[in-house]
Amino acid sequence: MSTQKIAVIGECMIELSEKGSTVSRGFGGDTLNTSVYIARQVAAQDLSVHYVTALGEDNFSQQMLDAWHSENVDTSLTQRLAGRLPGLYYIETDDTGERTFWYWRNEAAARYWLESDQAAAICDQLANFDYLYLSGISLAILSPQSREKLFTLLRQCRANGGKVIFDNNYRPRLWASQQETQQVYQQMLSCTDIAFLTLDDEDALWGAQPVDEVIARTQAAGVSEVVIKRGSDSCLVAVTGDALVEVPAVKLPQASVVDTTAAGDSFSAGYLSVRLTGGSTAAAAQRGHLTASTVIQYRGAIIPREAMPA
């Protein structure tokens, strides 16, 4: 059996994270977090994880690439763009582990990955992948013209037998308006096979609705597998034609919650590490909860490898 391939599309940024008066530097971004956590939980011969983005030619960008290589994330489709730099974000974390983000990313290299001379050749390769994964942030950082190129790629991949996976990850400050986001998300969902929906983000974008209506709306757009993420509450998995699956979250004492950064990203990674290698939705959701509950007990987006659950 040949190795399946998943391409995770998005942006990695320089991460500055404060703890008291100490500030530490790392790298993170929602899709990068997911790619690392998938790669840590699957055998390379079962699923090859590729990260698709653009970086600069600076030392920070090289350090990112070196770190991804050490995580068994393939970077052959990551571009280096002259005159560009990675974006940067700063995390303030309160006493309960909740965080506030501050961003500097308007000219980040990742915004231009579909506008380079290499973009067409990269899209030709991606159209033949087994899975393409992206988030709402992957869409938000692109120009309208680049988004159309991306949607063309997603449709071509599905026509070739691949599947598209989308995490809603809605960040209002990255969008011109709520109406624009709704239109883009509807277009995205129309070419999505598996959707991860953080319920708080759905409520913020569409207005609070009963969860069964959220699922119905998403399925009506054409999504066959809908995963509802509800933080510390149980998650729900709705596969067209099957009964709704509810899987309880891992309960932690509040004192154990250090930093909720990458909680949703790591849940999606845990879910996919099981689901894309033949596991059931229930087993996938259990792994998602286990991964997320481990990650939030450490500071920063990417926890030490030795801290990963067995």
Cα radius of gyration rounded to whole Å, the chain: 18
Q: What is the distance between the alpha carbons of residues 59 and 63, in angstroms, rounded to a whole number?
A: 6
Helix, coil or strand: residue 137: helix
Place of tokens 């099957």: 242
For residues 244 and 237, the answer to whether their CB atoms sit within 8 Å is yes
Q: Which of 30, 201, 259, 265 is catalytic?
A: 265
For residues 8 and 134, the answer to whether their CB atoms sit within 8 Å is yes
Quote the tokens at residue 141: 């950082």
Quote the tokens at residue 45: 């011969």
Amino acid at 263: A
First vs last C-alpha separation in the chain: 25
Q: What is the distance between the alpha carbons of residues 178 and 292, in angstroms, rounded to a whole number?
A: 28
Helix, coil or strand: residue 269: helix
- 130 tagged catalytic: no
Quote the tokens at residue 23: 């500030």
Quote the tokens at residue 136: 């709402």
Q: What is the distance between the alpha carbons of residues 34 and 189, in angstroms, rounded to a whole number?
A: 19
Catalytic residues: 265
